[in-house]
Structure 1
Amino acid sequence: MFLIMKKLKRLARKEKRSTRNGATRRPNRRRDRDGNSSVRRRRHPKTELEAAIQRFVDLYDFAPIAYVSFDRAGRIEEANLVATELLGDPRDRLIGRPFAFYVGDLDLFLRHLLYCRTSQQQVETELELKPRKGERIPALLCSRPITSTTRNGALLYQTAIMDLTERKRAEQALRESSQRLQATYERAPIGIIESSPEGKYVGANEEFCRILGYPKEELLQRGIKNVTHKEDYSRDIKLHRQLVAGEIPFYEIEKRFVRKDGAVIWAQVLRSIVRDAEGTPLYTIGAVRDITEHKAAEEKLTWLAAYPRDNPDPVVEFDLETHAIYYANPAAFELFPDLQRLQLRHPFVVQVMQVAKPLLEGRTKAVHADIDVGKSCYAATAVRIPKTRRLRVYSSDISERKRAESALQESKRLLEVRVRERTHELAVANTELRNEIERRKGLEGEILAVSDREQQRLGQELHDGVCQHLTAVAFMARSVALRLKNHRVIDAADIDKIAQLVNQGATDMRNLSRALHRSDVDAPKLVGALQDLVDREIWRVPCRLEVKPSFQVEDDAVAAQLYRIAREAVINANKHAQAREIVVRLERSPGGMVLRVTDDGVGFSNGTELRQGLGFHIMNYRAQVMGGRLEIESPKRGGTRVSCYLPNKALQSRKKENADSGLPGKIANALAALI
């Protein structure tokens, strides 16, 4: 596209030089029907196709993604602005240079180029770019074959270069987060097991495999039933089903496992469930702690009951009748110095009495509970001494274990929060990318529609106007030739008629050229350009202009946009309104200025379909560029009114921008025409 624009600009400069030298200047004076002479300015036609190409070039050049096109040998033929920034070289240095100079891995690029040659589909390759300055950049090349319009139909590969730096960083952060989660999972000091809702193991960490003595691959082939002691299975599976059904949020159980070597061990299992957003169970997760030694300690405590004095752990007996401490071994007094003074009011004793109610009521033989006293935590086991009213409590300090479990739970919670945040960010990024792709497809479609519509209109105008005049001239010329051949008298009126038809065809061609585009509209010439617009003979509906002689527009870009909006509205009214008259009105309003194009045609009942047309979108875009707004309405008396409102604030802003820019007048006009 860059080469196309260079060729168009070169032709334009050549035409200006030839006009300046007088080589192509034609008389601009012609006679009207009354014989009077009128002077009309010569105009340089600029087709809508050129404007569409310019808009496409702007989209290509200022796209937020780098684009390059290279030939079969890998030489760069086209590059947009983002590509020049990414590769670190100006466009004139990039064009004609092998793209391989900017690639870190030459083999990858050569393989990419080979795939481009042998495939008609889009080819994608990830590699590292080596810009002229700076560090290497991870990138994704997306190439597809196109036919060049400037190199005699040569095959090029248009390539989008996606900078993957941010994505690679996000992937690296996600990998590190996943690795931390996996390390926490695998190195946890307790066993962690994941089970399906049916009870089959689907995941396990190293500690759980060590507890049961199974390799992970073999353990995952088994389920809860295969490794649970048969006397404990029914109780465990019942709680598991209640958990899956949502009847309980979690459960804790002490049960026996059967190791691979046949040994029976005791374990404490705390199990919860993970569900999806709809509440469907995905899997259960359980924390398993080997309490075989704890159970052995309980049996040892039972044996040591006869010898409490030698017990290294606190042992306390309560007299339920006198509500006093009956006995406490030295370890208890060492651990709780104020036990003798506070008696049953001691925090440790108060909590034990609360959890021991089932034991006092005879519903169980022993009670296990974790008791918090200050910053310490104790695993307490309470038993009732047979044939007495005394309660004996054995305890051990488990503070370190509790702190480790709390830290593990907090790490798990933080990790889950981070995973949810990353998932949300990726979803938002994917949505934005899809929206951007759809918007670009829409812009490409509009550009093609503009080109097709203008080509069709040009063909129709040429066929209905100029071709008919030329056909009539040819017919009359053949008639005169036959008369000359037969030596018959030639009527001078026939020759005059031929000349009249030729002049009329030339007039139609000039009118058609003026209708294509007007590129010389600036602020002082706006009123004259609008008057020339409504006076054209090509309109089927009479047009007139209403504007005060003193009305002026100070900004050239605003004048150009107002003229194009008026021209589009007049064209639409001639095509669709079925009107008897079209009025173009330019006037001041309390808040600025307004351009109105009004017709007395059929109007419309619902503006939704009208606002979906390409013409409305073009006019609305031009109004927004100026800082104004566009309204289309159907008055009660009928017809259609197109109004472009431009506030004073927008006019002052554009005037200040032009003053600050410091650009010469011709350059400013060219930029305004591009908009």
Structure 2
Amino acid sequence: MHVVRLWTPAFWLSASVQAVTVVASLGTALALPPLIPKVLDLARSAKVSEERRQRLQESEERFRSLVENLQVGVLLHGPQAEILLSNWTALNLLCLKEDQLVGKTYFDVDWNATHEDGSPFPIEEHPVPRAIASGRPVRNVVMSVCCSASEERVWLLVNAEPQLDADGSVRQVVCTFSDITERKRAEEALRESEQRFKSSFEDASIGMALVSIEGRWLQVNQSLCEIVGYSEEELLNKTFQDITHPDDLETDLGYVHQLLAGEVRTYQMEKRYLHKLGHTVWILLNGSLVRDEGGEPLYFIGQIQDITKRKEAEEEIRRLNETLEELVAERTARLVESERRLKDLVGKLVAAQEEERRRVAYEVHDGPTQVAIAAHQHLQAFADDHPPGSTVERGELDRTLELAQRAVVEARHIIENLRPTALDDFGLAVALRMRVEELEKEGWEIGHEDALGGERLPEEIETALYRIAQEALANVRKHARTTRARTRLARLGRKVRLEVRDEGRGFDPSSASRGGSPGERVGLSSMRERVAMLGGELKITSRPGAGTSLVAEVPLHEPEGDRP
């Protein structure tokens, strides 16, 4: 629609010329001269108004171009909230076309706006209606609108500036808004990050703390409070120096100085805290320093793990290792001693073997061998005196038969000494009694007391005690110079006791190992070793002229089947 602007300079110039023509045709020549200067002034005024119009139009074009190219959305509203103007940025941010906005009122548009908390944003609370209603600026309102094309929400920072007439009424409202969607996303990401940090800080299974540069606790979690026994309020009124063990403080502060000097980024150390109840708590500390953008220190971050149980376990392991080392050293010494004793015992056994062989050789030589030689001589003499065909007188071979019988007895005696069959067949008590009876037949005055009865003992105990009794009685024969003796066999609880006592000349036990014959020394040593191998004890009591008492006690071990 073309609108004629009646106030243009061309219209007024044409009308003035026509007016002058009319006046000239009706007036007199006297009236014309005074009008000429006025007509000329009017023409000059018309020329100036045309120049102003052109400048105003150029200014309007520059303003429109500026508004169109702004990176901020601009909507111009009339006093009834009608939308008079919209720039390209506004259309782009709102995902609308110009005909969907310009010419409509603010209330005709479905803004689908929400608050920051996601709740609906009532249209009467929007910045433009509020600015029209109050006549005052409404600034920095954050709201989101839905872009119909992508169904994504666009976050806007909105300002509404009312322009007033002279009477104070709203002539128009300039609404500007900028896209802060990226800023909101960054804020949301930051909020989520802070929430994650807060959750990880507060819910961490290990102690977490923020500590000032001076060492004061700024923030602590529940795990740290449980480690040291203080409440959060109590800790926030202390420094880490207050609860650090004095022996660990210097080392800890040394790491702190290295962090502040930038020599290290983090540090880790084992240290001790002083619990509220007074005892020591071992912790593993990981420390780091947070700086601002300028590199200035802000605060420390500490991660504290309770390692008290681990340290106690390490101490227990260390103590056990020391004990084990002591036991190993003791066992090694015992093994060395056992090895020495074993070598000594082997040597003694070899010597005892040789002594036993010598003894048997002497017995065979002095006993059956001599008898056999005598019998052989008698037979040789008989053969020389009685050539073949001669008559044999009665009784001439009686002596030879006697010698042969004696040789048999001597051989049996030697065999019995080597290994009595009664010991295997009937046990210790019977074998010892039979040995005593043999000595009685030889003329000994010997008594015997048996409290075992028919009880059989383990084979190794019976053999050892019989050999001890045999050796003791042999020593009585050889060294005591008496045939008066007594033997006693009894059971005392879990022990078996053998006693051999004689009324001979006696001896000094302390010098027995230094004096005496080799056979005597080996005999005593052999008896002691036999008893020691069975875990028993051998006691020899004697003094010169008062006889000798030998007592051997050997423990009885429970049979495997009787053990619990």
TM interval, shorter chain, is 0.3 to 0.5
Q: Which has the larger radius of gyration?
A: 2
Question: Larger relative CO (CA 8 A, sep 6+): 1 or 2?
Answer: 1
Q: Give the TM-score, by structure 2 length.
A: 0.42
